[in-house]
Amino acid sequence: MNISDRLYVEIVPFEGDRAPQPHPVRDGHFDPAFVYKVLGMYNPSETGESYFILSNTDRQIWFISNRHLRAFGLFDGDALFFKKEHAPTPSRENGHALRSHGKSRLSADAHHAHPDRLASLATSSRNPARVPSS
């Protein structure tokens, strides 16, 4: 199965009966205030569950169950994660981050930025999801 290299997901931990492990917040130290770029996917043949490969804000790679995730949007760029509050809002019609000015773009240098620097994420009407360069 092919996954778009533009897909970002948000963490919404499933707390019901038989919640999949590892827990993304307690075990994986993922911060629900951020969205994460999907780096890959694994689907064990013995289950109907998929595990998405994500990097947390400590740059640790984890396999997180699809039941803990929700699609957030499709964005151009190489940032491994960014704060939700700084993301452009995907349109409801197609899930893409489209604006009247064109597609939003995330800086390829964002994955080099320390998580504390992401708080100073600069935005503008021309490029609503610009991540500062290192």
pLDDT band at 1 (very low <50, low <70, confident <90, very high): confident
pTM, to two decimals: 0.67
Give 99 or 64, the one with higher predicted confidence: 64
Strand order, beta sheet including 7-11? 69-74, 7-11, 34-37, 81-83
Tens digit of each residue's pLDDT (9 = 90 or more) over 27-77: 999 999 999 999 999 988 777 889 999 999 999 999 999 999 999 999 988
Q: Where are the domains of the chain?
A: 1-134
